[in-house]
Amino acid sequence: SSNTLILGIETSCDDTGCAIISGQGKILSQSLYSQNLVHLRNGGIIPDIAQELHRAHIEPVVAETLNKAGVIMENLTAIAVTLEPGLPLSLAVGKKYAKHLARKFNKPIIPIHHMEAHALTPRMVHDIKFPYLVLLISGGHCLLAVVQDVKKFKLLGESIDCAPGEIFDKMARKMKLRNIPDYCKISGGEAIELAALKATNPDMFKLPLPLTDYKDCNFSFNGLKTSVFYHLYKKEKEHNIVAHELIPEINDLCAAALMAVTRHLIHRTQRAIEFCHLNKLIPENNKQLVVSGGVACNNHIFSCLSELCKEFDYRIFRPPPNLCTDNGIMIAWNGLEKLRKNLDIVTEIDSLDIKAD
């Protein structure tokens, strides 16, 4: 209805996110506390620390979101909260706080699957009709799926080891990119994208294309990471020097890594497009690819995917960067999509513990 208001809460990983959207999908306000800098300093996410930071920030982040929108808890229609997947300790903080608010103000909870939220959010800003193909690429996930409807997915493939953002982050750390002032406050993926732009001779590094013998839509990034580490180690030995002082070879290695990851993503996405065609999963007049997740911010990856789409007559969509990475808006939007279809509106708050399958 016209006065529908959804509060979204996201704490699945290292961002405490909150947002309020209207029944028309308009963003009234959002707040995001990112733990990124803390984890960069620690060389990775330590679950106990992530939980502690969520605990410290959940209340002020939610309060700030309400304040900025000029909305009081009493006026909310429902609270959407991420229940899975993610770091259990982190998820628990959002869930507990959402339950507390739901009980106190007698509001229903709409449980959200983090990946579904990534997959549906582009519908908030683009006119994208079901069914469509989605490629989700982030620090925690890598998958291809057909989004048939809200809560209705056909998984085509996923990573058999780690995620592309995760290997970018690990490579950036091993290369000590953070010691370069330009890169000290950005994610590993962004640092690698910027360094790659400065490359002059990326072809000097040979990196394998993973899973070429497998005729499915799965991904694997571990082998690429190992090859990059091997090349780095060789260069370090050769120069008798530590990684971040190696420039320009570091830039070339970043470019080689980015190109290899891109090639793999394109290879698997093409398989998915062909599979959808053969199995009539996407109608001819509905050929749409949505790319989301933090790694979708990468312009090289996106422009190569755009080329692929042109070839197969697909339209390509990606949400703006602030909607690609983790945030509260995508959770609120998924909540609204479920509310519109009357799905998963939980009023028996205690039953959430059973329902979170």
Single residue of 17, 131, 188, 202 touching ligand KG4 by CB under 6 A: 188
Q: Is 11 an interacting residue with respect to Zn ion (CB under 5 A)?
A: no
Beta carbons within 10 angstroms of residue 163's beta carbon = 23
Q: Show the CA angle centred on residue 181, arms to residues 178 and 319, nearest 5°.
A: 70
Q: In the stretch 101-140, what mask flags binding to Zn ion with x, by CB under 5 A?
A: -------------------------------------x--
Q: Which is nearer to ligand KG4, 158 or 216 (CB)?
A: 158
Q: Which residue is nearest to Zn ion (CB)?
A: 326
Q: In the stretch 309-338, what mask flags binding to ligand KG4 with x, by CB under 6 A?
A: ----------------xx------------
State how far Cα 202 lies from the chain centre.
Answer: 27
Single residue of 14, 326, 337, 344 touching Zn ion by CB under 5 A: 326
Single residue of 33, 97, 153, 168 touching ligand KG4 by CB under 6 A: 168
Task: Spell out the alpha helix ranges (H) of the chain.
Answer: 36-42, 47-69, 88-105, 114-120, 122-125, 164-174, 188-197, 222-239, 249-278, 299-311, 321-324, 328-340, 352-355
Q: Is 13 an interacting residue with respect to ligand KG4 (CB under 6 A)?
A: yes
Minimum gap (Å) between residue 176 Cβ and ligand KG4? 16
Structure tokens of 39?
A: 């984890």
**213 class by beta-carbon count within 10 Å (0-12 exposed, 13-18 middle, 19+ buried):** exposed
List binders of ligand KG4 among 92-151 (CB under 6 A). Answer: 138-140
Single residue of 79, 98, 297, 330 touching ligand KG4 by CB under 6 A: 297
**What is the rounded CA–CA span in Å between residue 93 and residue 51?**
7
Q: Which is nearer to ligand KG4, 101 or 257 (CB)?
A: 257
- How many residues does this entry show for the chain? 357
Q: Which of 2, 14, 22 is nearest to 329 (CA)?
A: 22
Minimum gap (Å) between residue 261 Cβ and ligand KG4? 8
* Residue 314 binds: one of Zn ion, ligand KG4, none (C-beta under 5 to 8 A by kind): none
Minimum gap (Å) between residue 125 Cβ and Zn ion? 17
Q: Which is nearer to ligand KG4, 74 or 320 (CB)?
A: 320
Q: Which of 111, 90, 88, 114 is nearest to 352 (CA)?
A: 111
Q: Which residues contact 326 (CB under 8 A, 6 or more apart)?
A: 10, 12, 13, 15, 17, 114, 138, 294
Single residue of 8, 17, 131, 189 touching ligand KG4 by CB under 6 A: 189
